[in-house]
Amino acid sequence: MKLGIFKTLFVALVGLAFASAGYSQTVNIRAQIPFRFAIGGQTYPAGEYAVKTLQSYSNLTYIGNRNKPKSTMTLPHSVSSGPPAKNTVLLFHRIGGTYFLYQLWAEGSRVGLQFRQSPEEKELAMNKTNAETVSIAANFEQ
């Protein structure tokens, strides 16, 4: 009985991994972010950042400041759009004077990454109705 459940779960997990592979791509970009921003409940200083998905079949994403030892790992989910993205960009939500990393889009792709809302962002969004989306250009790295 236990072996049958294990086999079923294993097959389901393998199927899920292969199904998600079609919706993700490897991302390796850098961007100069001119303001402090938050992701995953932590605040990061302005600076040059590297953003990399760690495996092509997963959205596990590394975000690191190239000049300071501050980095994070996060697991955003895939989002899709109609036409392919025209540019590689990082999108931020600005609520009041605070910026939150929201999405990443790679040029030519119809699939982007959307980062989870932190409790702070949710709270600020509830208190302020005007959230602005700010776009920062990014470049692919080799």
Q: For position 11, what pLDDT does the model report?
A: 36
Q: Which has the higher per-residue pLDDT, 100 or 124?
A: 100
Q: How much is the pTM?
A: 0.77
Cβ-contact 68, 45 below 8 angstroms: yes
d(CA 106, CA 109): 6
- Domain hosting 7: range is 2-140
List, for residues 96-119, the tens digit of each pLDDT value. 889 999 999 999 999 999 999 988
Query: Would the pLDDT of 9 be above 80?
Result: no
Those residues whose C-beta lies under 8 Å from the C-beta of residue 51, and which sit 6 or more positions away, are: 27, 28, 29, 30, 31, 61, 62, 63, 90, 104, 138
Contact 80, 122 (CB under 8 A): no
C-beta neighbour count of 44 within 10 angstroms: 22
- pLDDT score at 142: 57
The pLDDT of residue 15 is above 90: no
pLDDT at 4: 44
Distance CA(81)–CA(112), nearest Å, equals 8
Largest CA distance in the chain: 57
Total structural domains within the chain: 1
The CA distance from 12 to 99, in Å, is 38
The predicted pLDDT at position 57 comes to 60
pLDDT at 133 (0 to 100):
93
pLDDT in tens, 23-82: 456 789 999 999 999 998 889 999 999 999 887 667 889 888 988 777 888 889 899 988
How far apart CA 107 and CA 89 sit, in angstroms, is: 8
